[in-house]
Amino acid sequence: MSDRQPGFSTLAIHAGAAPDAATGARATPIYQTTAFAFDDVDQAAALFGLQAFGNIYTRITNPTTAVLEERVAALEGGTAALAVASGHAAQLGVFHTLLRPGDEFIASNKLYGGSINQFNHSFKSFGWNVVWVDMADEEALKRAVSDKTRAIFTESLANPGGVVTDIEMVAKVARAAGVPLIVDNTLATPYLCRPIEYGADIVVHSLTKFMGGHGNSMGGIIVDGGTFDWIASGRYPMLSEPRPEYQGMVLAETFGNFAFAIACRVLGLRDLGAAISPFNAFLIATGIETLPLRMQKHCDNALAVAQWLEAHDKVEWVRYAGLKSDACHGLAQKYLPKGAGAVFTFGVKGGYEAGVKLVSSTGLLSHVANIGDAKSLIIHPASTTHRQLTDAQKTAAGAGPEVVRLSIGIEDVADIIADLEQALAEI
Amino acid sequence: MNHDRYEDAYIRGILDEVKTIAVVGASANTVRPSYFVVKYLISKGYDVVPVNPGQAGKKIAGVMTAASLADIDRPVDMVDIFRNSDAAKGVVEEALRLNPLPKVIWMQLSVRNDEAARLAEAKGVKVVMNRCPKIEYARLCGEIGWAGVASNVISARKPKLQQGFQRFGINRQQKP
């Protein structure tokens, strides 16, 4: 192609995936192998020394996984990406590269329950201290910054509360603090929102959700925005100090605007080991080819279901940023103009018991802990995903006793509504 | 010539055309970018001449180092500059005294000197600034994607395998 910039749908299909050099296979081959034969000793030495590009071992790189990485980097407008075993592994990889024991990071108090657990428990055992704030409160966010702060973390569209983050505002605070902004873009996907365009420095995903789109593969990814100056900052020694295992190489100097992704790979993934299976990478990369079509249908269906629920007499409230009545509607119009995603919550009249009854009564909607499947999914967070949190944390995370979470799929919307109608009649 | 953004065809044309490359500021330290750019370009089949007065007469990445551009015993197609932006002008002036003239002056990532570029372009010499030939080669041939780095190239044409399985060439499969 010429130098015109390809559109999003073209990148979703083509980015990273030329015909296979060895065979001409047009689909991305699944390189289901652990190791790669070296051409010669000199090439092997160059690969181990990070002097040449190439594959050694699937824990570090794999050509199938590389297609997924380049594709997501292109879709997010980043310089590079690193795919890993899950969204949790992506977060572990990011913070392992940024933090030392005793450091702090600021995180939104409206995150996916699994992230709240990871930050509150496992990360604290590493000496990485989370400071929770309400990201909508700019003054509280500024007050949370200390000389130990090394990053700010938020979700573009929060799970399950449906809260939209004012990314530009948070990015401004991060810049003033001299720390990178990390945005979890799992629920929005780059089809709806590209956080790097609004000032994010690093984007993470659980690819398990809408990116893969079919509920068949675990995966996560770290996208390097290429925007943060690691050397000028001096607060991130993994990037700015000589690495003893690479003969004193300084990664930020050597790899420039994709150094963060390389550091997460050659230090974090190498040592922490949470590699994605090439087969999963293949399934997710294939799923991404239809991301623009699927995501639009997810959003259109979700809006129709949310509007229907809002008018239902057994429904107390609906929290979906796509609704005009929603507190986040203004932010959604700015950050998510094509649709407010497909995961949202509503409050069922009758509290905890009614919530449990509802999820036990659906026939088409599946009662599972996942989101972002082609199938419509339903869950009662207070009794499942968020049950390990305290009552106060549940409410802060938008997972109170009456809350039901939906992940609307791409079935015929009339069938989704009919199933919810009969299940609500059971209460 | 717009030096803020280069078309892929311009960069590919240069990397396809040049054969002999002098790398000014090449380092003998094996973890410096100015060492492994030399090593990478050699592996791609270029005739590379490291230029570094402190290393003159010694080998870098297995090839003999020259003390200066004027000391190189054969015509140079491209001069790749690993010096800061201010020092680049002097190197360009030295390169423009060569006979025959080099076809290309290339300044590395973060190196840019527009005045020097105008001097070269006035003599018909092509200029690239603030780019790395290793990154550009790896980007255009597809190798850089193995590290998860966005190549910003999409193509329905096969990458060209060089010797071995982990080396691609700059030109993809040609149209029949």
B30·A70 Cβ contact <8 A = no
CB–CB of B152 and A74 under 8 A?
A: yes
Q: Does residue B43 sit within a domain? A: yes
Buried b (16+ CB within 10 A) or exposed e, A48-84: eebbbbbbeebbbbbbbbbbbbbbbbbbbbbbbbbbb
Ramachandran assignment for A377, one of left (phi > 0), alpha (psi -120 to 50 degrees), beta (any other): beta
pLDDT at position B94 over 90:
yes
Spatial CA neighbour of A107 closest among A167, A163, A57, A151: A151
pLDDT of res. A259: 97
Residue B152 lies in a domain: no
Per-residue model confidence (pLDDT) at position A1: 46
Q: Write the CB contacts of A375 (distance below 8 Å, at least 6 apart in sequence).
A: A215, A366, A409, A411
Whether B30 is in a domain gets the answer yes
Kindly report the nearest CA distance between residue B57 and chain A, in angstroms. Answer: 23
Strand A129-133 with A149-155, pairing: unpaired
* Burial of B130 per CB tally in 10 Å (0-12, 13-18, 19+): middle
Unique residue bearing structure tokens 């990390």: A182
pLDDT of residue B170: 82
User: A254 contacts in B (CB within 8 Å)?
Assistant: 31, 33
For residue B81, how far is the Cα from the chain centroid? 8
Selected for mutation to probe chain B from A26, A51, A229 (highest B CB count within 10 Å) is: A51
Q: Locate the domains of chain A by residue range.
A: 8-288, 292-425
pLDDT at A251: 95
- Whether A55 has its CB under 8 Å from any CB of chain B: the answer is yes
Q: If interface means Cβ-Cβ distance under 8 Å, which residues of chain B face chain A?
A: 7-9, 30-31, 33, 35-36, 39-40, 43, 109, 132, 138, 142-152, 154-161, 163-168, 172-173
ipTM score assigned to the predicted complex: 0.91
Q: Which domain holds residue B35?
A: 8-133
The crossing angle, in degrees rounded to 10, of helices A291-310 and A413-425 is: 40
Q: Looking at the complex, does the CB of residue A262 fall below 8 Å from at least one CB of chain B? A: yes
Is the pLDDT assigned to residue B174 strictly greater than 70?
Answer: no
CATH of the domain at B106: 3.40.50.720
The rounded distance, in Å, linking the Cα atoms of B153 and B140 is: 7
A47 CB neighbours in chain B (<8 A) are 166
* Beta-carbon pairs below 8 A across chains A and B: 131
**B63 in a structural domain:** yes
What are the backbone angles phi and psi of residue A301, rounded to the nearest 5°?
-65, -45
Residues of A in Cβ contact (< 8 Å) with B9: 2-3
Torsion angles phi and psi, residue B166, rounded to 5? -115, 35
CATH 3.90.1150.10 is right for the domain spanning A292-425: yes
Report the pLDDT value the prediction gives residue A2, as an integer from 0 to 100.
56
Predicted local confidence at residue A43, as pLDDT: 87
Residue pair B74/B46 in contact by the 8 Å Cβ criterion: no
* In-domain check, residue B155: no
| Topology of domain A8-288, CATH | Aspartate Aminotransferase; domain 2 (3.40.640)
Chain B nearest-CA distance from A247, in A, is: 7
What CA–CA distance (Å, rounded) separates B149 from A238? Answer: 19
Q: What is the pLDDT along chain A (427 residues), one digit of tens a residue?
A: 456 889 999 999 999 999 999 899 999 999 999 999 998 898 898 899 898 889 999 999 999 999 999 999 999 999 999 999 999 999 999 999 999 999 999 999 989 888 999 999 999 999 999 999 999 999 999 999 999 999 999 999 998 778 999 999 999 999 999 999 999 999 999 999 999 999 999 999 999 999 999 999 999 999 999 999 999 988 999 999 999 999 999 999 999 999 999 999 999 999 999 999 999 999 999 999 999 999 999 999 999 999 999 999 999 999 999 999 999 999 999 999 999 999 999 999 999 999 999 999 999 999 998 999 999 999 998 888 778 878 888 887 778 899 999 999 999 999 999 999 999 999 9
- DSSP type of residue A118: I
Residue A229, chain B, CB below 8 Å: the answer is no
Out of A16, A46, A67, whose CB is closest to B39?
A: A46
Question: Residue B33 gets which letter from DSSP?
Answer: H
Q: How many domains would you assign to chain B?
A: 1
Q: Please enumerate in sequence order all residues whose Cβ is within 8 A of that of A370, keeping only pairs 6 or more positions apart, or say none.
A: A208, A209, A215, A377, A407
Closest-CA distance, B119 to chain A, in angstroms, reads 28
Is B55 a domain residue?
yes
Mark yes or no for CB contact A39/B8 under 8 Å: no
Q: Is the pLDDT of residue B175 over 60?
A: no
pLDDT digit string, tens, across residues B9-36: 999 999 999 999 999 999 999 999 999 9
